[in-house]
Chain A
């Protein structure tokens, strides 16, 4: 059946099975490829989006669970204050290497910053330890979040 979902402020109707993960709706059905596939089991965080502002793993979030919720992806996170601050800090501090996980990192970090403007190291660990970076940009992620929080 068709599901009506709201992504980055735009309504979409998608005709997929109810248990289809949001990740594939975004990437394959809607062609929004900024959100990445990493593990399919909420173990790596590459697929992180915001659902009503909460950082959420889209690989295990089924399309039928969304209802009226507002989905925000990496493509639109720069329109939020926290998202723009994180993106800027990421570039100013040269966090990014291969960049594949960084959509998810930025979504997790901007959710953290939006809810906690001055995160401690422990807060950062809590919010970011679900996001794996195989290039090992962790040292700079930590510094960039602090930079964005200033």
Chain B
């Protein structure tokens, strides 16, 4: 077992001047990133102690080689299952000329300057762009290190660096056969100038990239040794669970904790403005204490809010004007003159993330500093928001990131860290705050509810000549990154609704931002496309049906300008046996998308029972994601995205009644299980284009594929998800 492959070294947000001066690599690190490297050891870390660390070589914030030749790679993108802790090392190792069994991984600490995703401009892992951001950045990090090691060896031998090569952790002088290991070169390499012109390997010379390398993070995940945020155990830690106002925006009125304090192991009841926490020796006591509390809430302004109220507001908003996201030609005029007009509205529900690792955060709030243990997709955001909650300067908040037990966008938020800091401020010593599943589902930040109004015009041959779409819902970007929301638009809310693969001569899309009252919204796997691809691909299917044409052929005729989209559509249709007969009650549905920089087509096969229940039998997916860095991970992510999206299509719905989320646990907010899981076939188009995103693409594509398959099986078009058996059941 490779349990020790990920070093759980502590990493703080700053280092002292003393430790700075010890490190030869810092000069180069500072030159590149404008910040400094950091490395503090954790009490429970099984890594080595920082104080006695030998002199090392670190040409940038991602690579460090110590005098023993141990190679440490600092991971700027988090590992939440999507395989970055293998793919990022592959990119670095490819250029550094080391094998993956020579590297140890470390979680990056918060530092926007060093570890920001170049595509997002912030230190965050999301939007399926870790590998897109890493593609050039990480290969250059490896190549820089390699060039400096080669330069150091060449200098030592008094030869031309061009006469030397790097191979398997050594520099070799080709003519003489002399060789030096990286460890032996670490000290001198640190004094080499950082190269300005970096030569990257030609794809033809790749030995790692493009191969199905075994994951580095998984051995520790099959024997219980992997450490997630929820597993952090700083010495003396106490355990807390929290109850937040059941109605968003409500306040705590009163708490009677007499019975709770009598529970064995309960230490303390913490009162906040809108929440109560029970602190105990273990979570069992904390939960028992929580159940014993008598809490009264002031429900506040949203006490009577329901999902229908919100949906009604959104529907109304689609009747007024919105911000124009894309316009081609004159859609109104073209529709007015069209042979056939088609109209439809669609609705998508609020969804919870339900990560298997419930929300949690451990905080040690000390006199003038605060230490945090968490698994989060945006660790610098955690640091900044926790500092604000703690009333401390950012540099006094030390944050340790961890493996993440499911992110899906939930852990791009820092609300959990803020809540844990609020609690920890009243607790002596470290406290681990763990949300119960009920609390996790009822106080999530949700995928927004969406309402869409579409119309289209077809000519006499059935071909679409105009397309109009106006949709309303929450902009997550406007809250999460306000400057990115401009002129009423943001790229996430509209992705998948505009810049379609289809060639449509008249096209007009508007977005109306409407923030629902009393329910917070957040990114959810495949975000904007989770909504827009469903709508777009359902509506084009409706147009095909109105034109009485085959759903694949209808799409294909609109793809003259998009050969990569046509290729994945053809491949999926062929592999799925499109057009071949299926038993009664069964049907195939197709979807096609270009989102997150990747092309994907899916064909779903469903069976709809007489009682209206839907069984997803088989999914065939064809994908062109450019270079597939690790094709096995690409396949795994597509399988994952399909299950995630199918869960939403068949089960997913968060509803509000009296201001409260009605779903509580996995009995009322159901997940797809193994007995419902379809067979999944993934076909990856070989490509040398730069990598596209693939962590979320499977999710957005499957929902319309299922809805379209249900239409093929039953003749019933779903305008609202999830699939409702009451609509689909046959009359008795």
Q: Which of A20, A35, A98, A103 contacts B406 (CB 8 A)?
A: A98
Q: Distance (Å) between the CB of A112 and the closest chain B CB?
A: 12
6 closest Cβ pairs, A-B complex: A34-B224, A136-B643, A100-B405, A98-B81, A99-B221, A97-B81
Smallest Cβ distance from B375 to chain A, in angstroms?
A: 10
**A56 contacts across to B, CB distance below 8 A:** none
CB distance from B299 to the nearest CB of A (A): 25
B569 within 8 A of A: no
The one of A24, A91, A99, A140 that contacts B282, using a Cβ cutoff of 8 Å: A24
Contact of B81 among A16, A77, A99 (CB under 8 A): A99
B556 at the interface (CB under 8 A from A): no
- The reply on B214 being an interface residue by CB < 8 A is yes
A31 within 8 A of B: yes
Residue from B265, B665, B674 with most neighbouring chain A CB atoms (10 Å): B674
Residues in chain A near residue B679, CB distance under 8 A: 139
B639 in contact with A140 (CB, 8 Å):
yes
> Which residues on A are within 8 Å of B, measured CB to CB?
16-17, 19-21, 23-25, 27-29, 31-41, 43-44, 46, 73-75, 77-78, 87, 90-91, 94, 96-103, 106, 124-125, 128-142
Q: How far is the CB of A55 from chain B (nearest CB, A)?
A: 14
CB closest chain-A residue, reference B264:
A17
Contact-residue size bin, chain B (C-beta under 8 Å from the other chain): 35 or more
Q: How far is the CB of A119 from chain B (nearest CB, A)?
A: 12
Chain B hits for A96, CB < 8 A? 81, 215, 217-218, 221-222
Q: Is the CB of B285 within 8 A of A17?
A: yes
Tell me what chain A mostly uses at the interface: helix, strand, loop, or mixed: loop
CB contacts (< 8 Å) of A46 on chain B: these are 356
Q: Does B708 contact A (CB under 8 A)?
A: no
In the assembled complex, the Cα of A33 lies from the Cα of B285 at a distance in Å of 17
Counting CB contacts under 8 A, is B14 at the interface? Answer: no
Other contacts beyond A17-B264, A25-B284: 5, CB < 8 A: A75-B225, A98-B81, A99-B81, A132-B673, A138-B643
* Residue in chain B with minimal CB distance to A101: B356
**Given A40-B437, A41-B437, A99-B403, A94 contacting B356 (CB threshold 8 A):** no
Check if B225 sits within 8 Å of A34, measured CB to CB. Answer: yes
Contact of A99 among B226, B230, B680 (CB under 8 A): B226
* B666 x A24 contact (CB < 8 A): no
Asked if B250 lies at the interface with its beta carbon under 8 angstroms from chain A, I say no
B644: interface (CB < 8 Å): yes
Within the complex, which residue of A29, A32, A125, A134 is in contact with B224, where a contact is CB–CB below 8 Å? A32
Whether the pair A24, B356 counts as a contact (CB closer than 8 A) is no
Chain B residues closer than 8 Å to A139, beta-carbon distance: 639, 677, 679-680
16 A–B contact pairs at CB < 8 A? A24-B283, A24-B284, A24-B285, A28-B283, A36-B230, A36-B357, A37-B283, A74-B224, A90-B218, A98-B355, A99-B403, A100-B228, A128-B675, A130-B673, A134-B644, A142-B677
CA distance A61 to B373 in the complex (A): 29
The interface residues of chain B lying within 8 Å CB-to-CB of A32 are 224
Render B646-660 as a binary contact track against A, CB cut-off 8 A, 1 for contact.
Answer: 010000000000000
- Residue pair A138, B437 in contact (C-beta under 8 Å): no
- Kindly provide the distance from the CB of A144 to the nearest chain B CB, expressed in whole angstroms: 10
A29–B282 Cα distance when bound, in Å, is 7
Inter-chain contact total with CB atoms closer than 8 Å: 196
Min CB distance, B514 to chain A, in Å? 29
Min CB distance, B471 to chain A, in Å? 27
Per the bound structure, the CA–CA distance linking A79 and B81 in Å amounts to: 26
CB distance B288 to A17 under 8 Å? yes
Contact B233 A31 (CB under 8 A): yes
Q: Within the complex, which residue of A27, A91, A134 is in contact with B283, where a contact is CB–CB below 8 Å?
A: A27
A110 CB to nearest chain B CB (Å) = 11
Cβ distance B361 to chain A, nearest Cβ, rounded Å: 14
Which residues of A lie under 8 Å from residue B225 when comparing CB positions? 34, 75
CA–CA, A105 to B405, complex, Å?
A: 14
- Which has the most chain A C-beta neighbours within 10 Å: B223, B230, B680? B223
- Does B82 interact with chain A (Cβ within 8 Å)? yes
Q: Does B640 contact A (CB under 8 A)?
A: yes
**Docked complex: B333-363 residues within 8 A CB-CB of A:** 354-358
Contact pattern, B 211-237, Cβ under 8 Å of A = 1, otherwise 0? 000110111011111111011010000
- How many angstroms between the C-alpha atoms of A130 and B674 in the bound complex? 9
Residues on the B chain within 8 Å of A36, using CB: 230, 356-357, 405
Is B467 an interface residue, CB under 8 A from the partner?
Answer: no
CB-CB under 8 A from B215, the residues of chain A are 94, 96
Most chain B beta-carbon contacts within 10 A, residue among A21, A31, A35, A132: A132
B542 within 8 A of partner (CB): no
Residue of A33, A44, A128 near B233 (CB, 8 A) is A33
Once the chains bind, are B358 and A37 in contact (CB under 8 Å)? yes
Partner among B632, B647, B671 whose Cβ is within 8 Å of the Cβ of A94: B632
Give 1 or 0 for each of B475-488: 1 = CB within 8 Å of chain A CB: 00000000000000
A126 to chain B, nearest CB (A): 8
Q: Is the CB of A125 within 8 A of B675?
A: yes
